[in-house]
Each structure stands twice: as structure tokens, then as C-alpha cells.
């Protein structure tokens, strides 16, 4: 048979949640284009990107990445975007305690959306580690929130690119059952 027949193609939906300006759009563009947009543009509606990753010589994974853009937690459409997600990234800005605190509400929304169904793989993203001198969320708070809620804790900087690809790769590997 053709070698192509032996390659496993997997598809997963990944949704980024969190307050405005925590860096969701920047994370997505860093990961999908390796390009950091320096201008802040409030995205209207939802942007959707597909990123293909070769995880092993025989496993290829396509992540469809949904950026909620400028939508807030109260927006009526939001549960439609969350629905069917295989992974959810709870994103906050390490220099803004409020964006961390508000993740409780984002988590409640996800729990409500998935009630009675298996929860998605959940990831905590503390973004803007390049600004760690301005950090207002202590590491133990980050870790405790993750541990208390079954969330996998990560840090990254969309600006420098630090840990963006590594985190997304870990998520893809987990979803694909590749260890
Ligand atoms: P979103 O509303 O969550 O999608 O956030 P954006 O991606 O639009 O980013 C909001 C602002 O934070 C913009 O001015 C970005 O340039 C900036 N930003 C995003 N990620 C980082 C980061 O890792 N470090 C720093 N210093 N700024 C960032």
C-alpha cells in the first residue's frame, strides 16, 4: 500500500477563553504564523485558524483554533463556540489580577456548557511572561487554581514566543494520545 495510507489524521477543536486584552489573538497568531502583531485590534466575531502538526512520523494532527476575539463572557454566541471543544485554554495576563480572578466565571461557563458530558482538556495560560517584573498573580495562586480545578498550568509570552509552540504541542500530543 501507499505510505500515505498508514498516516493517522486527527482533528481537534481548541478554544481560547479569557478577558479582552490578555493576549488570545496574539497567542493564536504567534502559533499559526509565528508573527507578533504589535497593534491591538479588537477582533470582531470569531477568527478560526487551522494548524497542522506532525506529531510522529505516522500521526498528523489538525488543530482548529477558535479565538473568541472581542466577545465578552456575557455574549450569547459564546457557548456555541465553546461547544464541542476538545481543549479549552483559560488565558489571563500575569500583570492583571482581575483577568486571573475572572477565570472563575469562564470556568463556570465551560462547566455549564459541558454539563452531563465529558469535560474538554483544560489548560491554564498565564500570558505575558516577558512582563514578569509587573506580575500581580503569584505562582502559587496560578498553581492552586489549576490543581483545584483539574486544569494543566502553563506560562507563555505571545510577544517573545516563549513557550507558545511547546504548550500547543503538548496539548496536541495529549489529545492525540501521543506521549
Ligand atoms: P485579546 O483581546 O485577548 O485577543 O488580546 P490581544 O492579543 O489583542 O493583545 C492585547 C494587547 O496585549 C496587545 O497590545 C498585545 O500586543 C499585547 N500582548 C499580547 N500578548 C503579549 C505578551 O505576551 N507580552 C506583552 N508584553 N504584550 C502582549
Distance 21 CA to ligand 1 centre (A): 6
Percent of the chain with pLDDT over 70: 89
53 lines ligand 1 (CB under 6 A): no
pLDDT at 45: 55
- Global confidence as pTM: 0.92
pLDDT at 49: 85
Q: Return the residue whose CA atom lies nearest to atom 18 of ligand 1.
A: 23
Question: What does the buried/exposed string (b/e) look like for 157-179 if buried means 16 or more CB atoms within 10 Å of the residue's CB?
Answer: bbbebebbeebbbebbbbbbeee
pLDDT band for 34, please (50, 70, 90 cuts): low
Distance 6 CA to ligand 1 centre (A): 40
Exposed / middle / buried, residue 100 (Cβ in 10 Å: 0-12, 13-18, 19+): buried
In the predicted model, what is the mean pLDDT of residues 70-79?
83
CA atoms within 13 A on the CB side of 128: 21
Of 75, 156, 158, best ligand 1 pocket probe by most atoms within 8 Å of the beta carbon? 158
Neighbours of 127 (CB within 10 A): 28
How wide is the angle at C-alpha 74 spanned by C-alphas 149 and 145, nearest 5°? 15
pLDDT at 78: 87
pLDDT at 35: 55
Asked if pLDDT for residue 147 goes beyond 80, the answer is yes
Kindly state the greatest CA–CA separation across the chain.
57
Q: How far lies 11's CA from each of 32, 77, 141, in Å?
A: 16, 23, 33
Q: How far is residue 123's CA from residue 83's CA, in Å, rounded to a whole number?
A: 16
Q: What is the pLDDT of residues 37-68, one digit of tens each?
A: 544 445 545 667 889 999 999 999 999 998 88
Q: Are 70 and 60 in contact (CB under 8 A)?
A: no
132 lines ligand 1 (CB under 6 A): no
In the predicted model, what is the mean pLDDT of residues 1-15?
82
Q: What is the pLDDT of residues 85-118, one digit of tens each?
A: 999 999 999 999 999 999 999 999 999 999 999 9
Amino acid at each position: 500500500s501507499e505510505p500515505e495510507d498508514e498516516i493517522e489524521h486527527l482533528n481537534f477543536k481548541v478554544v481560547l477563553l479569557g478577558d479582552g486584552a490578555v493576549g488570545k489573538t496574539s497567542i493564536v497568531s504567534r502559533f499559526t504564523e509565528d508573527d507578533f502583531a504589535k497593534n491591538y485590534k479588537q477582533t470582531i466575531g470569531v477568527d478560526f485558524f487551522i494548524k497542522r502538526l506532525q506529531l510522529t512520523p505516522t500521526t498528523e494532527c489538525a488543530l482548529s483554533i477558535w479565538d473568541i476575539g472581542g466577545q465578552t463572557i456575557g455574549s450569547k454566541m459564546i457557548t456555541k463556540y465553546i461547544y464541542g471543544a476538545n481543549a479549552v485554554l483559560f488565558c489571563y495576563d500575569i500583570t492583571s489580577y482581575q483577568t486571573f480572578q475572572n477565570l472563575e466565571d469562564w470556568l463556570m461557563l465551560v462547566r455549564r456548557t459541558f454539563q452531563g458530558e465529558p469535560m474538554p482538556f483544560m489548560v491554564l495560560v498565564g500570558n505575558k511572561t516577558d512582563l514578569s517584573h509587573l506580575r500581580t498573580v503569584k505562582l502559587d495562586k496560578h498553581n492552586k487554581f489549576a490543581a483545584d480545578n483539574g486544569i494543566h498550568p502553563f506560562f507563555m509570552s505571545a510577544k517573545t514566543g516563549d513557550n507558545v509552540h511547546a504548550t500547543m504541542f503538548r496539548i496536541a500530543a495529549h489529545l492525540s494520545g501521543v506521549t
